[in-house]
Chain A
Amino acid sequence: MSDGLRLSAKTRAEIERLTTVYPVRRSALLPGLRLAQREIGWLPREAMDEVAEIVGVDPNACYALATFYDLFYREPVGKYVIGVCEGLACHLGGSGRVLGWLKERLGIGPGETTADGLFTVRTFECLAACDRAPCALVNDEYVGPLDEARLDELLRELRSHPNWSRVSGVGGRGSGASIPDPQYPTPDPRHSTTDTRHPAPGEGRS
């Protein structure tokens, strides 16, 4: 990962392992992309192509999948992506004000990243956490309900807390609300290995 656009051997190996987990090799594409983004922080073309190559699908398939999902970033984002919910409950609860405070504090609006590369602000349609309106998703962590004071505290914490992970990474605060790190099953011996429909290059010789 010399240029920061390519996957480490560890991630490659993990994706390789994932391809044996599912009855269909190609099912590893989605978790594979997620692992790639966890490592690099976003999904550069090089990483997408790499995942496609490991899984053995056309790079177009990777591109289609990555553009379908809102949480895959195809451009670099800040270390912390603050996604403000704009669903109905949050809207009524003041998500507009939250965005306004962020603009005041960070100088950026939705879709923008601070010059120091620390923060990206974006919006979500609905985070399905209406009980915490107005809420936001910071990387994989829910925060909310937000008012001005709590937002300031959050920003202070993000700036100072070294354990906050990168995008799609491990939640750092142990709040229990974080999206769990992907846990993938080990291969089911009933599947894989006997499927010779898609021989990998070199297979059939050894």
Chain B
Amino acid sequence: MDNLATVTIDGRVVKVPRGMNLVEAARLAGVEIPVFCYHSKLKPVGACRMCYVAIEKVPGVVTACTTTVTDGMVVNTKDPRVVKAQQGVLEFLLANHPLDCPVCDRGGECPLQNNTFGYGGPVSRYVEPKRHFAKPIPLSRRILLDRERCILCYRCVRFQKEIAGDETLTVINRGARVEIATLPGREFDSPFSGNTIELCPVGALTSALYRFKARPWDIRSSPSLCDQCSVGCNVRVDTRNRQIVRLLSRENAAVDDGWLCDRGRFGYEFANHPDRLTQPQVREGTRLRAAEWEEALYQAAQGLRQVVSQRGPGTVGVLVSPRLANEDLYLAQRLARAVIGTSNLDYRLTPHPTVSPLRPDAASGSIVGLEKARTILILGADPLNHQPVLDLRLKKAASLGARLIVVDEKQTDLAAFARLWLRPRSGSLDTLARGLVHLILANGQVNQEFVDRRTEGIDALRARVADDTPERVAASTGVPAPLLEQAATLLATNGPASIVYDRDLGASDDGAAAVLAATDLALLTGNIGRDGAGLYPLVRAANEQGALDLGLMPRRPSPPTPSPTGGEGGHAGCPAGGMTGAEMLDALRAGQLKALYLLGVDPLRELPDDRALRDGLTGLTTLIVQDILPGPAQELATVVLPGAAFHEREGTLTNLERRVQRLWPALKPPGKARPDWQIIHDLARALGTSFDYAQASDVFAEIASVVPTYRGLTYGKVGLKGVQWPLDVASGQEAGSLYEDPGDTRLAFTPVAPSTARIV
């Protein structure tokens, strides 16, 4: 027999993988074994003793979580000895656990409550007074601890140690005096601390934001996405009285593995903010006054028309937030290009980075694919700050045996988990990356089969890095040559290897060359196009990938305009050229822009204070600001349009691994606010177009019809777990890694000297 074991659990015969523990095996058999300390993502410790089972030929009862299956094992979870033992465990736990369920946040969704109901005895023999502690202890600004409720399952401490990889929470004292604690005066300051609230099987760890705000039974839940970064963690939005009361993880193993970072979990308060924009406003003299939609849209359209007719469409700019949904972004670019007739369109306010020459411009692999990697090079990326939950995935990969190579002058969070930490001097990242290319070439560690079959241009590459000898690289980067050798050897020989870098790295001179060298490294070692072997340029904003996919920038391929008869209508009428966001801001400072449409962007808030910029905005004939909260640019606006937050609308976001995921409306937008795609649609109609989208899915259907990478996608297909583009044409299923299929086109090594490779 292969690697399966046949076990009988309460008379049900199941085949499960060998090495699986009995709690998981029982789950597969459809039998529930009650647990407190056990969690499928954490190593079993057998601390709570709740999961007792009886096994034939084994004396007494054993804990299921620490027992692995063997072939032919016969397990009974309802044996009288088990029932009695579990009643005893609960009686012990409740000897000290307070019966304050009616005022406890966990009441109604509490494993201790549920297990007591399901497995406890009718009465307790303990009549003694219970423990009393000062309550609650604030472990941090976010998390409170009620010690008397704690049943010491250690899930929280184990999560921090095993998953987050820190010891920001610990266990102090011994025996009956054990407590979950931090050093006195020290905050529980993990960026992932909120997960412990969800893991806690009782109400010992509670959220300061949620505490006493709601009961589980008067909450309405809706699936949604976190829009704080490009990972796109799946969340459950819990609302009550038209407010978000909390975000919980909605586990998507492919994306978040069931975890959220604190920024995502606790960062929803903006959505409940009392200052939310609820009403369109138009300028009347020196002040803004409330207006109805018709008037505001008319004013906005008139303002744009006036500028276009008097000064030309080249004086109109459109800046969009990369946090907006694909539907918003797609319509915004259509409005700009096809309706207004300008290519002054961007999702960035800062210059675009140099990016890998491979197309499409996206991560080649998947998040979960990183778990298959044996080596991961993390080049100038700090996921903890920009893509926190990806940080957990990289740590998981490391715990699964991947060797991490961190290349960063800073001591990033991942440096402590790395096999090698290379610290090139500031500004020498390019030299270091080229040095690795040189070493792989010089040591004959090239994947020749892959290079011959799939790539072109290796000779030019060989010539370009000829001078980047380890000695020279060591001298200019400060990284010792032996470390360089080790890193190159790991990358080339310990595959599959993945390369992860910050996509914005390419905005600096040395970073730009490093980004190009990263592609060369992947191609040289044949590490692209399969699980565990990928090139991951990490985008930062929630839908930055969508903005790239939909061409929300000038001088890049943009989606063709659909023809009225269906299908593609080509790029007719789409102006060439156009200014990037940074260029638009310069034009604004120089007084050359006359109209600006800001969608979820406020340059005055996002950039350092800048008098020329403020004057430029003041000097605009038309400034349309569409946002959900007030900002400084609105004070200068001619029209203010209130948009909807992520949990008040339909739409899709595309995460850093090309996964298109859906948003669902949990609440209506406040007041008269509308989803952004709808506002753009309405504005386009006010400008006299025949835009006709009844719902967000209509917009998405058009995206799927005109954007090649999104072909075949529908809301139905995206579903609750999302889909990675592109879909395989034949099967309609996810195609997986990019560059998987040899095809006809060869992957090119960096064709030109880095200095001229900058694209935008």
Report A's interface with B, CB cutoff 8 A.
Answer: 45, 57-61, 63-64, 67-70, 196-199, 201, 203-206
Contact A68–B174 (Cβ < 8 Å):
yes
Query: What are 25 residue pairs bridging A and B, where the CB atoms are less than 8 Å apart in the complex?
Result: A45-B184, A58-B167, A58-B168, A60-B167, A60-B168, A60-B169, A64-B167, A67-B172, A67-B173, A67-B174, A68-B172, A68-B174, A69-B174, A196-B420, A197-B419, A198-B416, A199-B416, A201-B411, A203-B421, A204-B420, A204-B421, A204-B480, A205-B479, A205-B480, A206-B480
Report chain B residues within 8 Å CB of A204: 420-423, 479-480, 483
Contact A57–B421 (Cβ < 8 Å):
no
Report chain A residues within 8 Å CB of B478: 205
**Prevailing SS type, chain B contact patch:** loop
Specify which of A70, A198, A205 lies most central, judged by the most chain B CB atoms within 10 Å of its CB. Answer: A205
Report chain B residues within 8 Å CB of A198: 416
B422: nearest residue on chain A (CB-CB)?
A: A204
Contact A60–B174 (Cβ < 8 Å):
no
**In the complex, A174→B166 CA distance in Å?**
45
Q: Which chain B residues numbered 372 to 431 have a C-beta less than 8 Å away from chain A?
A: 411, 415-423
Contact B170–A199 (Cβ < 8 Å):
no
**Given contact pairs A67-B174, A198-B416, A199-B421, A60 touches B479 in the complex (Cβ within 8 A):** no
Contact B170–A60 (Cβ < 8 Å):
yes
Specify which of B167, B168, B423, B480 lies most central, judged by the most chain A CB atoms within 10 Å of its CB. Answer: B167
Contact A64–B420 (Cβ < 8 Å):
no
Report chain B residues within 8 Å CB of A64: 167, 170-172
**Given contact pairs A60-B167, A63-B170, A64-B171, A196 touches B421 in the complex (Cβ within 8 A):** yes
Q: State which of B171, B173, B423 has its C-beta within 8 Å of the C-beta of A205.
A: B423
Specify which of A63, A68, A198, A206 lies most central, judged by the most chain B CB atoms within 10 Å of its CB. Answer: A63
Q: State which of A61, A69, A70, A196 has its C-beta within 8 Å of the C-beta of B170.
A: A61
Contact B479–A59 (Cβ < 8 Å):
no
**Given contact pairs A60-B186, A206-B480, A196 touches B419 in the complex (Cβ within 8 A):** yes
Q: Which chain B residues numbered 471 to 500 have a C-beta less than 8 Å away from chain A?
A: 478-480, 483
Q: B183 near A: Cβ within 8 Å?
A: yes
Q: B469 near A: Cβ within 8 Å?
A: no
A195: nearest residue on chain B (CB-CB)?
A: B419
Report B's interface with A, CB cutoff 8 A.
Answer: 166-174, 181-184, 186, 411, 415-423, 478-480, 483
Contact A59–B186 (Cβ < 8 Å):
yes
**Given contact pairs A204-B479, A205-B423, A206-B480, A59 touches B174 in the complex (Cβ within 8 A):** no
Specify which of B417, B423, B479 lies most central, judged by the most chain A CB atoms within 10 Å of its CB. Answer: B423
**In the complex, A206→B172 CA distance in Å?**
38
Contact B183–A68 (Cβ < 8 Å):
no
Contact A61–B422 (Cβ < 8 Å):
no
**Given contact pairs A63-B172, A68-B174, A206-B480, A57 touches B420 in the complex (Cβ within 8 A):** no
Report chain A residues within 8 Å CB of B182: 60, 63
**In the complex, A203→B417 CA distance in Å?**
14
**Given contact pairs A58-B167, A61-B167, A67-B174, A199 touches B415 in the complex (Cβ within 8 A):** yes
Q: Which 6 A-B pairs have the closest CB atoms?
A: A58-B167, A67-B172, A60-B170, A64-B170, A204-B421, A60-B167
Report chain A residues within 8 Å CB of B423: 204-205
**In the complex, A59→B423 CA distance in Å?**
26
Interchain nearest-CB distance for A13 vs B (Å): 24
A56: nearest residue on chain B (CB-CB)?
A: B416
4 additional contacts (CB under 8 A) given A63-B170, A64-B170, A204-B423:
A63-B181, A196-B419, A199-B421, A204-B421
Report chain A residues within 8 Å CB of B166: 58
**In the complex, A64→B171 CA distance in Å?**
6
Report chain B residues within 8 Å CB of A197: 417-419
Interchain nearest-CB distance for A59 vs B (Å): 5
Report chain A residues within 8 Å CB of B418: 197, 199
Q: State which of B167, B181, B186 has its C-beta within 8 Å of the C-beta of A57.
A: B167
**Prevailing SS type, chain A contact patch:** loop
B478: nearest residue on chain A (CB-CB)?
A: A205
Contact A60–B173 (Cβ < 8 Å):
no
Report chain A residues within 8 Å CB of B169: 60
Report chain B residues within 8 Å CB of A203: 421
A49: nearest residue on chain B (CB-CB)?
A: B183
Interchain nearest-CB distance for B240 vs A (Å): 35
Interchain nearest-CB distance for B183 vs A (Å): 5
Contact B168–A68 (Cβ < 8 Å):
no
Interchain nearest-CB distance for B181 vs A (Å): 8
Report chain B residues within 8 Å CB of A206: 480
Report chain B residues within 8 Å CB of A69: 174
**In the complex, A199→B480 CA distance in Å?**
14
Interchain nearest-CB distance for B121 vs A (Å): 32
Report chain A residues within 8 Å CB of B181: 63
B403: nearest residue on chain A (CB-CB)?
A: A197
Interchain nearest-CB distance for A104 vs B (Å): 31
**In the complex, A69→B173 CA distance in Å?**
8
A202: nearest residue on chain B (CB-CB)?
A: B423
Specify which of B168, B172, B479 lies most central, judged by the most chain A CB atoms within 10 Å of its CB. Answer: B172
**In the complex, A87→B128 CA distance in Å?**
26
**In the complex, A81→B599 CA distance in Å?**
71
A61: nearest residue on chain B (CB-CB)?
A: B167
Report chain A residues within 8 Å CB of B186: 59-60
Interchain nearest-CB distance for B554 vs A (Å): 42
**In the complex, A201→B409 CA distance in Å?**
11
**In the complex, A58→B171 CA distance in Å?**
13
**In the complex, A3→B598 CA distance in Å?**
60
Contact B479–A63 (Cβ < 8 Å):
no
**In the complex, A61→B411 CA distance in Å?**
21
Report chain A residues within 8 Å CB of B483: 204
Report chain A residues within 8 Å CB of B172: 63-64, 67-68
Interchain nearest-CB distance for A110 vs B (Å): 16
Report chain A residues within 8 Å CB of B170: 58, 60-61, 63-64
**In the complex, A107→B237 CA distance in Å?**
63
**In the complex, A61→B167 CA distance in Å?**
7
Report chain B residues within 8 Å CB of A201: 411
Interchain nearest-CB distance for B113 vs A (Å): 30
Report chain B residues within 8 Å CB of A205: 423, 478-480
**In the complex, A151→B467 CA distance in Å?**
82
Report chain A residues within 8 Å CB of B479: 204-205
Report chain B residues within 8 Å CB of A61: 167, 170
Interchain nearest-CB distance for B79 vs A (Å): 36
Report chain A residues within 8 Å CB of B184: 45
Report chain A residues within 8 Å CB of B419: 196-197
**In the complex, A57→B416 CA distance in Å?**
11
**In the complex, A203→B480 CA distance in Å?**
10
**In the complex, A199→B408 CA distance in Å?**
13
Specify which of A59, A198, A199, A203 lies most central, judged by the most chain B CB atoms within 10 Å of its CB. Answer: A199
Specify which of A57, A60, A197, A205 lies most central, judged by the most chain B CB atoms within 10 Å of its CB. Answer: A60
Report chain A residues within 8 Å CB of B417: 197
Interchain nearest-CB distance for B444 vs A (Å): 25
Interchain nearest-CB distance for B748 vs A (Å): 33
Interchain nearest-CB distance for B569 vs A (Å): 56
Report chain B residues within 8 Å CB of A45: 183-184
B483: nearest residue on chain A (CB-CB)?
A: A204
**In the complex, A199→B414 CA distance in Å?**
11
**In the complex, A197→B405 CA distance in Å?**
10
**In the complex, A203→B419 CA distance in Å?**
12
Interchain nearest-CB distance for A70 vs B (Å): 8
Interchain nearest-CB distance for A27 vs B (Å): 15
Contact A60–B183 (Cβ < 8 Å):
yes
Contact A68–B173 (Cβ < 8 Å):
yes
Report chain A residues within 8 Å CB of B420: 196, 204
Report chain B residues within 8 Å CB of A59: 183, 186
Report chain B residues within 8 Å CB of A63: 170, 172, 181-183
B417: nearest residue on chain A (CB-CB)?
A: A197
Report chain A residues within 8 Å CB of B416: 198-199
Interchain nearest-CB distance for B146 vs A (Å): 20
**In the complex, A105→B393 CA distance in Å?**
63
**In the complex, A201→B641 CA distance in Å?**
51
